[in-house]
Amino acid sequence: MELSWDLLHPVMSVPYLPTLGPLHPDALSAGLLADVCAVAGTGQFLPHDKDRRWSERKDERLLVGDVHQDARRTLLPTLTGRGVLRVHLYGAAGHRPEAVETAAKLAAVHGATTARVVWFRADPDPVAASTRVQLRTFERPAPAVEGIEDLDALPEPVRATFAAFAEKLASEGFAFLHSRIDSVGPVLTAVREERVVGAIGPMETMPDPIGRARLLPQYFGVMPEYRGLGLGRLLWRAAMHWGSTNGADYQLLQTTAGGASDRLCQAEGLADLGFVCTMTV
């Protein structure tokens, strides 16, 4: 069926499109939805897709032929090359059983190894993994932060400790970042006792669908033994200063509800755009 923006938009409670993720509310449009449909299954990236920096081909595609939509709800299924099928439910919670059934059926049809349902709320859902979508704008300059340094500016012996840091925080994405460290933007670091103990990066911007500069998401972490000392807040504020001085208009983040990063962002005054909730079928 032809996917209708006029039916989707009224039931969209969080500014989020499948395959693109969270978006600035002003960037949502019928044209953007049409673009997502146009590249589905081609492996091509849209020019503003944040995943372009990590791969030459788009891994996740919208299953346009399997869309279910009416005035009450829209179900948008996607499939990744790794066999993960997701059904994104836009509409009231009462449609969730239909989304679960649809995910199970489509997983069988497409040979998916994992089936999930994704839905959107104004608050966390106690029965699902919930991530908060947050918006930070750069209308006002962010002040400089002392004690945080660019990884490339560190003395070589200290810089070399980033490998051990990345291995220790591999579950937070730093091992992957370390494997790409020579091809991405700056990584900001906290150093104690001549070794890297915290980091945030890479620091990069990309034009969004309406041409505004978006500060892209970063990997962000502090070694367990150095948490609770304020280093995470220093790193975060240093990243915001980088964005402010490098032309970023805003940043969007997804933080695990109730987690340390979530609490930090809330304390820093970011705008809450709602929750993305995920459940494995």
Using pLDDT thresholds of 50, 70 and 90, give the confidence band for residue 260.
confident
51 and 110 both lie in a single domain: yes
What is the CB neighbour count within 10 angstroms for residue 197?
21
| % of residues, the chain, pLDDT over 70 | 100
pTM over 0.75: yes
For 19-60, what is each residue's pLDDT tens digit? 999 999 999 999 999 999 999 999 999 999 999 999 999 999
168 and 124 both lie in a single domain: no
Residue 264 inside a domain? The answer is: no
Q: Which residues contact 106 (CB under 8 A, 6 or more apart)?
A: 63, 66, 77, 85, 87, 112, 115
Residue 254 inside a domain? The answer is: no
Outline where the chain has alpha helix (H).
5-8, 30-39, 96-110, 156-159, 162-168, 174-179, 231-245, 260-267
Say if CB 247 and CB 205 are below 8 A apart.
Answer: yes
182 and 63 both lie in a single domain: no
- Could you give the CA distance from residue 43 to residue 131 in angstroms, rounded to a whole number? 27
Q: Is 188 a residue whose pLDDT tops 80? A: yes
User: Averaged over 200-222, what is the pLDDT?
Assistant: 96
Mean pLDDT of the chain: 96
Residue 261 inside a domain? The answer is: no
For 61-83, what is each residue's pLDDT tens digit? 999 999 999 999 999 999 999 99
Residue 35 lies in domain: 5-132
User: Averaged over 198-219, what is the pLDDT?
Assistant: 97
Number of domains within the chain: 2
> 65-75 burial, b if ≥16 CB within 10 A, otherwise e?
ebbbbeeebbb
Using pLDDT thresholds of 50, 70 and 90, give the confidence band for residue 104.
very high
Using pLDDT thresholds of 50, 70 and 90, give the confidence band for residue 141.
confident
End-to-end CA distance of the chain: 25
Using pLDDT thresholds of 50, 70 and 90, give the confidence band for residue 269.
confident
30 and 119 both lie in a single domain: yes
User: Averaged over 177-193, what is the pLDDT?
Assistant: 95
C-alpha 215: how far from its chain's center?
Answer: 11
Q: Is 85 a residue whose pLDDT tops 90? A: yes
125 and 221 both lie in a single domain: no
What is the CB neighbour count within 10 angstroms for residue 170?
12
175 and 71 both lie in a single domain: no
144 and 201 both lie in a single domain: yes
Predicted pLDDT at 1: 65
Using pLDDT thresholds of 50, 70 and 90, give the confidence band for residue 233.
very high
Predicted pLDDT at 140: 87
Predicted pLDDT at 190: 98
Residue 49 inside a domain? The answer is: yes
Domain boundary among 116, 132, 148: 132
